[in-house]
Amino acid sequence: MKLHAIVRDLAAAEQAVAGGATVVQLRLKGASTADVVAVGRPFRALPATFVVNDDVDAALELAADGVHLGRSDEGAERALAAGLLLGLSASSVAEAVGAEARGAAYVGAGPVWATPSKQDAGPPIGLGGLGAICRAVSVPVVAIGGIDASNAAACIGAGAAGVAVIRAGADARSLVEAMDAAR
């Protein structure tokens, strides 16, 4: 689960995978299922786990490996029934435990730090909150929110299995190297 590259297009996905991303998550907020499917078609050929953000129908149509759902998104049961890898977001121990109970294969925990990418993410949980979530669940935890090469290792040190970064692109290699150094 090491590096989740959250991307909007194939070029960014290819760049992230070339840098060492093991998971590519297609995130097109507000896009229709048809638009997500149109953009996502070539992602299946990438040598990485392919996850669709927020759209179970698109994930199924694209034969994606999985779907990541936010705290208020619907469709977890349908995703599991279809055999998709299910990622669920959490910002507290209670939400993480609930996500695991709902069948999550991994928990996206955060925001660890303030992030310009998601203004409605809520207050940062910090490394203490991340560590508490990691200790509370048995599934892998992927840290998200304000993460870059300077602090990715700290997330691994707190117990995260990996990090998710929207701006991974050119920094993918340095992110992976930072996480490797923390192990």
**Per-residue confidence band for 161, with pLDDT thresholds at 50, 70 and 90:** very high
pTM (2 d.p.)? 0.93
Query: Which CATH number fits the domain 3-182, given the four candidates 2.160.20.10, 3.20.20.70, 3.50.50.60, 2.40.128.50?
Result: 3.20.20.70
**Per-residue confidence band for 170, with pLDDT thresholds at 50, 70 and 90:** low
For residue 47, say if its preceding peptide bond is cis, omega within 30 degrees of 0: no
In the residue annotation, 89 being an active-site residue is answered as: yes
Q: Is the pLDDT of residue 120 over 70?
A: no
In the residue annotation, 174 being an active-site residue is answered as: no
Q: Both ends of the chain: CA-CA distance in Å? A: 14
Question: Which of 119, 110, 182 lies closest to 153 in space, CA to CA?
Answer: 182
Are the C-beta atoms of residues 160 and 182 closer than 8 Å to each other? no
For the stretch 56-84, pLDDT in tens is 999 999 999 999 999 888 999 999 999 99
Q: Structural domain boundaries of the chain?
A: 3-182
Are the C-beta atoms of residues 172 and 21 closer than 8 Å to each other? yes
pLDDT at 118: 61
Average pLDDT of the residues in 2-11: 94
In the residue annotation, 27 being an active-site residue is answered as: yes
Are the C-beta atoms of residues 106 and 1 closer than 8 Å to each other? yes
Instruction: Out of 2, 27, 91, 167, pick the active-site residue.
Output: 27
Instruction: Out of 118, 150, 167, 174, pick the active-site residue.
Output: 118
Instruction: Out of 89, 92, 173, 183, pick the active-site residue.
Output: 89
